[in-house]
Chains A and B, each alone.
Chain A
Amino acid sequence: MFLSGILKIILRNFKKNITTTLIKIGGLAISITAVIIIWLYVINENKYDSNVPDRERIFRLDAFWASMPSFLGHAIMQNIGNEVKATRLNFWEDVGVQVNNIPFNIKEMVFVDSTFFSVFQFDLSEGNVKEALIRPFSLVLSESVARRLFGNEDALGKIVRFQNQYDFTVTAIMKDNPFLHFRTDVLASMESLEKIRYKGVLKEYDGWSYPTYLLLPKNISTAVSGKSVLDLLKKVGYKENFNLKPFSEIYYSHEIENESNTRHGNKLYNKILIAVSVFILLLAAINFINLTIANAFSRSKEVSLKKLQGASRAQLIFQFLFETILFIFISIGISLLIIWFFNPGMTSLTGFSVKIGDFFTRQNLWVFTIGVLVFIIISGIYPSLYISSYTINSGKKSSSNRTNHTGVRNGLIIFQNLVSILLICSTLIANQQFRYMSKKDLGFNKNDIVNLKINSQLSGHLELFKEKLLKYPEISAVSFSSRLPGNYWGSWCCVNIEGKENKYFNNYVDADYLKTMNINIKEGRNFSSENPADIKTTYLINETAIKLYDLKNPVGQVILPGNGIKGQIIGVIKDFHYRGLNYELSPLLLFYTPDYLRFINIRLDKKSIPAGLAKLKATWDELCPAFAFEYSFLNETYDLQYKSEKLFESLLFSFALLAIFIAGIGLFGLSIYSTERRTKEIGIRKINGARISQVLFLLNRNFLKWVTIAFIIACPISWYVMQKWLQSFAYKTDLSIWVFIFAGILAFIIALISVSWQSWRAATRNPVEALRYE
């Protein structure tokens, strides 16, 4: 009965102060939405590698890079295979397969040893774990790939043709495993490589391209069994410094070299996001507190009267706490609605789908409940204590009591604006960096280039394909290469120049590569297709190599790279950023050879890209019907390497907007009350001849003072933070003072708008109206 009475009063108060009620609930609901999304994102990230059985006993062999020679896994299986389960992985990208003569492209395919399922004990939905990967040309598909290739038919036992050459039999179907640091869509038996590549390929002492995973035995400590593995490697003759990287640490660890298709999360970003979510909640709580306290003035009469009727303080505190709780639950309800409603849009924005169901695990519910409780305590207790402290007398005169609380309130307002200015600054700086990167001369032109992948059918008549393409006016240049700018270019050791050994990166190209990519020659000459003697015996080197290797007369030097083929440097090319601007330039050798070519680079005419693509597809389908036509634009491939930085920027941007919004409505709500309270004063001032501008100044002065203070504190903090962020780029923009000034002005304008909304109304009102009620 008591509760329902309170409820009635609360609802009537909602109606009476409809604007502020909406501001309170709206601000809270939007903040809660943001926080839930952030949490779901982090929860999603933490799912990676988390549901693999016995994960604490799984390790990956690492040296200074993550791929091992095939012999190494072979040796472990031969010698201590009874105790330590080992599996080698060999990743293939963009593999063309055919099912009943229909071509499909498999993004990632991995060859694994028959022991794969004893290391990673995944569930199969069809087939036998023990036998699935023993025979050559066995294939295990994930459920979703099976559905893609075979539709509703049962895929088990069906044939999948690999690169239009080898027939693989589907021996098992496994459950989808999207939260793993490597893709397991399509697994093929390792033994097949002996047939596809050449005999003995699985026992090679060199050739580091097999990430190797181990499952250490249960009854012995991992330190002991791990050491026996490392001892064995030493015994069979490897001098490298191996270590065992725990499986569960891989996803969040830094990228190391030759990790193949390992996917990484960024724990720092997770932490930043969680911090941001806490900040957002704080901002929302502050708004809530500020608006409630401001509102307290109009509630003071109700409070003091109730006290006179015999309400105890506890009862009043309870009433206001109950009101806060009601507000919070309404807001949570609305935010769940928002998420449900905008989920499709959000999926395209953030790249992950928000499933509320994910949220309601037992652990999260605990976090959720505790979070709500903490929020209630933060945002509810203080205002309740404050409001319930009113008595008839303090409502009337004791102004000293109120000024204390304005201090708290001003502090909170400063904090809010501080956060929003911080975020504006950071967003602007991040944006400036991306503008800088897109404007910076990369040393080559990544625009208007389409890349195709070379496959077994095409590799037979590459020259014919090129010839046909060059006949079209829409296509201006075609070249072949083994690597794409923006992807990882393998680092090699070592090239022997002037008796010194040096590390280098390489790319196998043809004579048209420089022309297609618009790379300039600084000295010497390009490879010549007219001169067959150039092939495999000549090299191009970049400026950075000249500088780092300290070469005086590079052109004409005879060098011995890691491939063991002696040759001559015939030219020096200008530096170009084949890796993103987050990396320093590094030494590069271009090899002129028809071997190992994997990509076709095609420069299209800027004005006729769709037409050019159509010609490409037509030529492809003519020469290479067994493979699906898959293409990519080089600039997109190149920009993919900034993906996490871009994500960071767009997150910053949305949080900046959110913080501005929250701070804005906070100011707006406060100005409603402060002008309401000063109605009489404004009336008197106007009667005594104050101009509208003077009244406006009077009302806005305080708010603008807080923004200024916030600005002064925010500048050094954001300068420090963004300086740190920029350090992840080797090439970075200068932090200009204008960014800060602009952010300050922006915050000022926003504050001015949110405050003036009310103060303008108050300032222009007829003073008689204001004074009539006295």
Chain B
Amino acid sequence: MITLKHIFKYYDSKFQRTFVLKDIDIQIAEGEFVTIMGPSGAGKSTLLNIVGMIDEPSEGEYFFFDRAVQSISEKQRVDFHRNYVGFIFQAFHLIEEMTVYENIETPLVYKGVKSSLRKGMVADMLDRFNIVAKKDLFPAQLSGGQQQLVGIARAIVGKPKLLLADEPTGNLHTDQGREIMELLKQLNHEGITILQVTHNKEFSMYGSRIIRLVDGMISSDERI
């Protein structure tokens, strides 16, 4: 599903080149649950952003389902965001001016799903995560765990093939974190490919494969 070949990411300043990622080679198949670990500044988030097509590599090739990402158009990229990928963030990143319901609905609106269909899909999500009662509240009125539930609901409502999670439990208590991780595991069982970044050893064990990054390079890649 995802093939990264010789990916480099660096920033040039006047006198030196700062490398964030160096020569990354990764293959991820459909249905995997991959955890990326590593110390701060190792380039975990950058790697995730490149996979999510928010950032571009400085060098190297990236294939998503055999399509070369470096040469896709703006339109295809929007299409990718609409149909193939969902994002979950450490800081939840819900749109503060929107209610829970509207936040979950947003991807469907942009996808062009009909209003009547949308209602049902959002209602399913609310049901599944037990947040029906909260649907008219604004993000600021929810606890962190609840916000992240909404974040996940928003990420998967459009039935993406790939879920990218950047430290999804970073801002949560351990209990809330476990709950979220259980949920991710379940989603993985339902067939969604998941790529998560985390610092937490315990939570890394929920996945099927751990890739360790140090100073922008892969130091280990093991299956559990």
Q: Residues on A close to B: CB < 8 A?
A: 1-2, 5, 8-9, 12-13, 16, 301-302, 305-313, 315, 391-393
Contact = CB atoms under 8 A, between A and B. Distances in A.
Given A392-B54, A393-B54, A315 B98 contact: no
A8 B110 contact: no
Interface in B98-117: 98, 102, 106-107, 109-111, 115
Closest 9 pairs between A and B when the two form their complex, measured CB to CB: A310-B82, A309-B107, A310-B110, A12-B97, A310-B81, A312-B78, A311-B110, A309-B106, A1-B115
B110 A302 contact: no
B110 A306 contact: yes
The residue among B52, B74, B83, B107 with the most chain A CB atoms within 10 A of its own CB is B107
Contact of A393 (B49, B102, B109): B49
B77 to A, nearest CB: 10
A2 B105 CA distance: 11
B110 A309 contact: yes
Contact of A302 (B55, B82, B97, B154): B97
Nearest to A311: B110
Given A1-B115, A309-B106, A302 B81 contact: no
A310 B97 contact: no
B102 A8 contact: yes
Contacts of B189: none
A9 B98 contact: yes
B55 A393 contact: yes
A510 B109 CA distance: 92
Contacts of B93: 301, 305
Contact of A309 (B54, B55, B81, B97): B81
A358 B78 CA distance: 50
Given A8-B102, A391-B54, A310 B111 contact: yes
Contacts of A315: 110
A16 B102 CA distance: 17
Contacts of A12: 97-98
A285 B168 CA distance: 43
Given A309-B107, A310-B78, A313-B74, A13 B102 contact: no
A5 B97 contact: no
Interface in B55-102: 55, 74-75, 78-79, 81-83, 87, 93-98, 102
A312 B115 contact: no
Contacts of A13: 97
A362 B106 CA distance: 43
Contact of B54 (A8, A306, A308): A308
Given A12-B97, A13-B97, A312-B78, A5 B109 contact: yes
B158 interface: yes
14 contacts: A1-B115, A9-B97, A12-B98, A302-B96, A306-B106, A306-B110, A308-B54, A308-B87, A309-B81, A310-B78, A310-B81, A310-B111, A312-B78, A393-B55
Contacts of B109: 1-2, 5
A13 B74 CA distance: 28
Given A309-B82, A310-B83, A393-B55, 19 more contacts: A9-B97, A16-B97, A302-B95, A302-B96, A305-B94, A306-B106, A306-B110, A308-B87, A309-B81, A309-B107, A310-B78, A310-B79, A310-B81, A310-B82, A310-B107, A310-B110, A310-B111, A312-B75, A312-B78
Nearest to B106: A309
Nearest to A1: B115
Contacts of B95: 9, 301-302, 305-306
A16 B96 CA distance: 10
Contacts of A309: 81-82, 106-107, 110, 154
A13 to B, nearest CB: 6
Nearest to B80: A310
Nearest to A316: B110
Contacts of B54: 308, 391-393
Contacts of A393: 49, 54-55
A1 B115 CA distance: 7
A284 to B, nearest CB: 26
A174 B112 CA distance: 66
A399 to B, nearest CB: 13
Nearest to A391: B54
Nearest to A309: B107
Nearest to A5: B109
A16 B97 CA distance: 9
A309 B82 CA distance: 6
The residue among A5, A307, A312 with the most chain B CB atoms within 10 A of its own CB is A312
A12 B138 CA distance: 11
Contacts of B87: 308
B74 to A, nearest CB: 7
B76 to A, nearest CB: 11
A16 B95 CA distance: 13
Contacts of B79: 310
Contacts of B158: 310
B164 to A, nearest CB: 10
Nearest to B164: A308
A308 B81 contact: yes
A325 to B, nearest CB: 19
Contacts of A16: 97
A301 B94 CA distance: 9
The residue among A9, A308, A310, A391 with the most chain B CB atoms within 10 A of its own CB is A310
Contacts of A301: 93, 95-96
The residue among B83, B87, B106, B111 with the most chain A CB atoms within 10 A of its own CB is B106
A5 B99 CA distance: 11
A499 to B, nearest CB: 91
Contacts of B96: 301-302
Contacts of B82: 309-310
